[in-house]
Chain A
Amino acid sequence: MTTKTGTPKNPRSRRKPARIWHLVTNHQNMLYMLAAGMVMGPAGFRGKHYSDPLSVYPGWIPLFRDKVKIPADVLNHATSERKHLLPCIASFDLSDLSGPVRMLSRDGRMRDVASPASRKRKDDIAILVPAPLPPFLLSSVSFRSVEHREAFKSAANDVSNVDLVPYKIEITEELFSSDVEMPWPIEQTQELLIEDSSDIYPALGQALGGVLSMLYYTANRNDLGLATFRLLTGSANDKDNDLVQNDPILAELPNWIGEGTISNQADVRASLYWGVIQSLINAQTRERPQPPVDVALTYLEEQYDLLLEAEFSPRLKRLITDMRGYIGLGSGTITELLERHKGSLSRPLLLFCLREHCTDLLEFSHPLLNDAEYLLAGILFGVRDGWLRLPKELRNSEMSTYVTFRMADIEHRRYGDNLIIKAPANPKTLREVFTLPSGEWNCTTKDAAIELIRKCDWYDCIQTRITLADAHFPQSFERAGLQLVLPGRIRSVMEEVAETKFLQRLGEWPPIAPQIELEIRKKLIDLQETLDNTNGTDSS
């Protein structure tokens, strides 16, 4: 029986290369990979990988051909470790992927091919794609039965970091009903082609995922946040660049993301901050990493010993002492601490000790913290949590697609494997949506803002402008219940949005409900289309 839901099949075309490929795994590994934002080798699971076909070629993802029966032993392998495991097939649409992969034949022979679309031989059964792949390439996740699918959904519902909404979860019994015999794992030649070191914890990709998510949400708080996010997503303008360059540490962010290093001219604070970031990432690649705060402290202590700038030494010493003291039973308040330590190196690092997770930081605010300090703290927290530890509330759907692409992309760039994944659209934060390049709102933006204000009960963001008929302003006016009584005549009464207050609201935590955000974004698109149609312009 096949119970497929979703898109209808495309008519078969001889010229069209096979684009659907299947990963055979189990439901627990699938959940973990969705949480991690990466389809990856066992090293990425930090000891929680259940043996499955990913174990056979560490660091490579074996994807079976569509319309070719998956051998029974492959399916059995996916559930062999524990009795509670359910077989699961993740189907990928690789139309947006190009670059060298390996073709695997039934007898275990492997050969390099230029791309997944390369011509296949009759005996070819799978391709091996270098890990990781972003989950947005998934066309569906299939189970054998309704019971298995429901068990998968229940298991996802037990945890904070798996959101199944973007995925098509199907029952496709025929994928699991194989009587094809083929020895698995095929051991003949893989050792010649697969090096043990191919499978490494994707620490950089995870860190980048955490950072981008944090910057996406902090972008709603202020112009610097928005500028920084746009800079990282390649959509910055000159003004954004100037804003980011104002802080010597933040100014190095593009260098660090692009080159993995900072400029030679960077000052000592920038060197220390980005050194901490790099230490945190390096620590993640170790089998049993130290706690992140300890990693940061160890790094700073080493640097203190090496520091040549006498002027900075006492400040660093004091920072290290307070970072240690405030983790435990040390005395003092956060205000005292922030007063004692000023600047965009010390304050983010202190917050790193005082709060644990990204959500803790997002709900934290303090009048002494400036925008750059808060953003730099956000980057530290993003690196510490990585994408994996982010709860669903920090995984906006559009942003997740883009960020998981960037995570996979940076890992592939790092290892130079030339795999190219077509980039999805840049996500726009709400602040960007409501900040037009012209600096002025149009009627579309205003209507959408009013709708959002209404849905969120932000009535403090509405103000009413009364235009008097003549220049004579009344000295006093009367209040009658819910009415204001003005002497004289008026020309107009207009309800308008207090934009500054509204933008402040957008940056508050917790963020507005995803459903409301979705509705508002849709409304903006609809309104814009209507406006374009009315004006006779083509929005496409």
Chain B
Amino acid sequence: MPVDRTRRFSLPGIHDLNKDQDEALALPMEGQHLIVGGPGTGKSVVALLRARRLQEASRTYGALVYNQLLHHSNRHLFGSDQPFAAMTWDRWFRRYFKRRLSTNVPTLEPGYPGGYRPIDWDAVEQQVQSLDNTENQSDKFLVVDEGQDMPPTFYRTLVHLGFENFYVAADQNQQIHPDKCSSRQDIENTFDIEPGDTLELKTNYRNTRPIALLAQHFYPADPASPRPDLPDLIPAAATPELWTYGTTNTATLAEIAENILQLSDRTPRKLIGIITPDNKVRTKFNDALLRANPKLDNEKSPIRTFVSGQRELPDFGQGGLMIINAQSCKGLEFDTVILADIDQHQPKRDPYTLKARFYVMVARSREQVMLLRTGNICPVVDGLLPTDPTILVRK
């Protein structure tokens, strides 16, 4: 019988939520609320629990995220047995605009023929401001995750269209396109939120303490918000490992691929994210894993890969392996993360950016992190790694 790889959705325990999260969850249903926090502080969790409460209270709500991959990932975290009114913000807005104004949303020219046509927010704002009457939307509720990635005009437009109830989770330090994104102040200004009323999540929620310790090591030194505090102990935590392969006296890539498959075989319900520096390494690991044929207790774990622009989205509801480039990993969550070929990450001339990238990659993992490096000596990356064996064990 094939092994059941269904990842189990579970609500947090009361002991998992910290006092800031309690407060964020207790915010009134109505009104405008902004929750900010660094990666792994549990913004998405409170946003999802908020959506769940709205769902159970039979309110009309929409849960909006930045891109399709995050939407897909959140869908799993919400619990696949629950109805979940969620969409990407762009898709939702186009639909809503058309229904409300009986015309297509104005767009800009695509970057290339036949390409994606971005929303022309200036034109949208003009059209909306010229509306004679504002419909009452006070019975509708919007929950926005990664709210820093939407432009300020998005929020202004919604307010102008009569929306009153917003629950926005954001992190200014994680903007995808800083020139098109909203700062904390932009959102506070649009919603008339006093700065003291914005809730800050300060404690690392997602990662185990050993992972959070490693992530903290990579935290950029110049953040606009304080680095998340370390979480309390979560049972079964393992210290992150650093493996070198492909040199004399170390494992080969084929052996590493076999070990990864056996790790997945031992924990079939876990999703292992292999985060690669570029497509070349992504393909290399994909090929090595496909070729590998180690002794297993169950059938070989599914190997999935994803590149930006890919139409078919990977399944976050099933355990197995997912190979993904570092650029696509923001906001995602895996049970275990393997950072492949860390010596290949760029830009080597900018250690600050490199460090920030390592921070985001490490913080994707809930339970376990493993770093792999080839035999190529890379002083820049080596210099970034902690030397304390209680933070990173060298294997």
Q: Which residues of A are at the interface with B, using a C-beta cutoff of 8 A?
A: 28, 31-32, 35, 46-48, 50, 82-84, 151, 154-155, 157-162, 288-294, 326-336, 354-357, 359, 384-385, 388-389, 391
User: B265 to A288, Cβ gap below 8 A?
Assistant: no
Please judge, given known A-B contacts A35-B13, A46-B15, whether A334 and B266 are in contact too, CB under 8 Å. yes
User: A333 to B53, Cβ gap below 8 A?
Assistant: no
- Of the listed stretches B158-166, B234-242, B278-286, name the one at the interface; the rest are far from the partner chain: B234-242
User: A155 to B238, Cβ gap below 8 A?
Assistant: no
User: B265 to A333, Cβ gap below 8 A?
Assistant: yes
Is B233 positioned at the interface, with any CB of A under 8 Å from its CB?
A: yes
Contacts of B259 in A (CB 8 A): 329-331
User: A291 to B237, Cβ gap below 8 A?
Assistant: yes
Contacts of A82 in B (CB 8 A): 19, 22-23
User: A331 to B262, Cβ gap below 8 A?
Assistant: yes
User: B49 to A288, Cβ gap below 8 A?
Assistant: no
CA–CA, A155 to B237, complex, Å?
A: 27
Q: Contacting B262 at CB < 8 Å: which of A84, A291, A327, A333?
A: A333
User: B22 to A289, Cβ gap below 8 A?
Assistant: no
Closest chain A residue, CB of each to CB of B45: A158
User: B243 to A289, Cβ gap below 8 A?
Assistant: no
Q: How many residues of chain B have a CB within 8 Å of chain A?
A: 52
CA–CA, A357 to B267, complex, Å?
A: 13
User: A48 to B258, Cβ gap below 8 A?
Assistant: no
User: A354 to B25, Cβ gap below 8 A?
Assistant: no
Query: How many whole Å from A321's CB to the nearest CB in chain B?
Result: 13
CA–CA, A250 to B368, complex, Å?
A: 32
Query: How many whole Å from B70's CB to the nearest CB in chain A?
Result: 21
Closest chain B residue, CB of each to CB of A386: B235
Please judge, given known A-B contacts A84-B22, A291-B210, whether A35 and B15 are in contact too, CB under 8 Å. yes
Which residue of B255, B263, B368 has the most chain A CB atoms within 10 A of its CB atom? B263
Which residue of B22, B49, B255 has the most chain A CB atoms within 10 A of its CB atom? B22
Is B56 positioned at the interface, with any CB of A under 8 Å from its CB?
A: yes
Contacts of A84 in B (CB 8 A): 22-23, 26-27
Q: Contacting A159 at CB < 8 Å: which of B13, B210, B393?
A: B13
Q: Contacting A291 at CB < 8 Å: which of B11, B209, B256, B296?
A: B209
Please judge, given known A-B contacts A82-B19, A291-B237, whether A160 and B11 are in contact too, CB under 8 Å. yes
Is B59 positioned at the interface, with any CB of A under 8 Å from its CB?
A: no
Q: Contacting A329 at CB < 8 Å: which of B11, B22, B295, B370?
A: B370
Please name the 7 residue pairs, one residue from A and one from B, whose CB atoms are nearest each other, closest first. Answer: A84-B26, A291-B237, A160-B11, A356-B236, A35-B14, A161-B13, A327-B238
Interface flags for B347-370 (1: CB within 8 Å of A; 0: not) read 000000000000000000001101
User: B12 to A46, Cβ gap below 8 A?
Assistant: no
Contacts of B25 in A (CB 8 A): 155, 158
CA–CA, A333 to B268, complex, Å?
A: 12
Contacts of A28 in B (CB 8 A): 22
Could you tell me which residues of chain B, from 1 to 45, have a CB within 8 Å of some CB in chain A? 8, 10-19, 22-23, 25-27
Which residue of A154, A329, A385, A389 has the most chain B CB atoms within 10 A of its CB atom? A329
User: B26 to A162, Cβ gap below 8 A?
Assistant: no
Q: Contacting A290 at CB < 8 Å: which of B233, B255, B295?
A: B233
Contacts of A48 in B (CB 8 A): 15, 18-19
User: B238 to A329, Cβ gap below 8 A?
Assistant: no
User: A293 to B238, Cβ gap below 8 A?
Assistant: yes
User: A329 to B263, Cβ gap below 8 A?
Assistant: yes
Please judge, given known A-B contacts A50-B19, A160-B10, whether A291 and B233 are in contact too, CB under 8 Å. yes
Q: Contacting B10 at CB < 8 Å: which of A326, A329, A330, A391?
A: A391
Which residue of B10, B234, B236, B256 has the most chain A CB atoms within 10 A of its CB atom? B236
Contacts of A334 in B (CB 8 A): 265-266, 297
Query: How many whole Å from B62's CB to the nearest CB in chain A?
Result: 20
CA–CA, A183 to B149, complex, Å?
A: 51
User: A155 to B11, Cβ gap below 8 A?
Assistant: no
Given A151-B26, A289-B233, A328-B393, 12 other A-B residues pairs in contact with their CB atoms under 8 A:
A155-B26, A158-B17, A162-B14, A327-B238, A329-B259, A330-B263, A331-B255, A331-B262, A332-B262, A334-B266, A357-B235, A384-B235
Closest chain A residue, CB of each to CB of B209: A291
Contacts of A293 in B (CB 8 A): 236-238
Could you tell me which residues of chain B, from 270 to 319, have a CB within 8 Å of some CB in chain A? 294-297
Closest chain A residue, CB of each to CB of B48: A158
Is B260 positioned at the interface, with any CB of A under 8 Å from its CB?
A: yes
Closest chain A residue, CB of each to CB of B367: A356
User: A31 to B14, Cβ gap below 8 A?
Assistant: yes
Query: How many whole Å from A318's CB to the nearest CB in chain B?
Result: 18
Is B395 positioned at the interface, with any CB of A under 8 Å from its CB?
A: yes
Supply 16 A–B pairs (Cβ within 8 Å), ascending by A. Answer: A82-B19, A159-B13, A159-B17, A291-B210, A291-B238, A328-B395, A329-B370, A333-B266, A333-B296, A333-B297, A334-B266, A356-B367, A357-B236, A389-B13, A389-B15, A391-B13
CA–CA, A391 to B19, complex, Å?
A: 20
Query: How many whole Å from A205's CB to the nearest CB in chain B?
Result: 15
CA–CA, A84 to B26, complex, Å?
A: 6
User: A326 to B266, Cβ gap below 8 A?
Assistant: yes
Which residue of A50, A333, A385 has the most chain B CB atoms within 10 A of its CB atom? A333
Contacts of B75 in A (CB 8 A): none
CA–CA, A283 to B267, complex, Å?
A: 27
User: B241 to A329, Cβ gap below 8 A?
Assistant: yes
CA–CA, A334 to B297, complex, Å?
A: 7
Q: Contacting A288 at CB < 8 Å: which of B12, B232, B237?
A: B232
Is B71 positioned at the interface, with any CB of A under 8 Å from its CB?
A: no
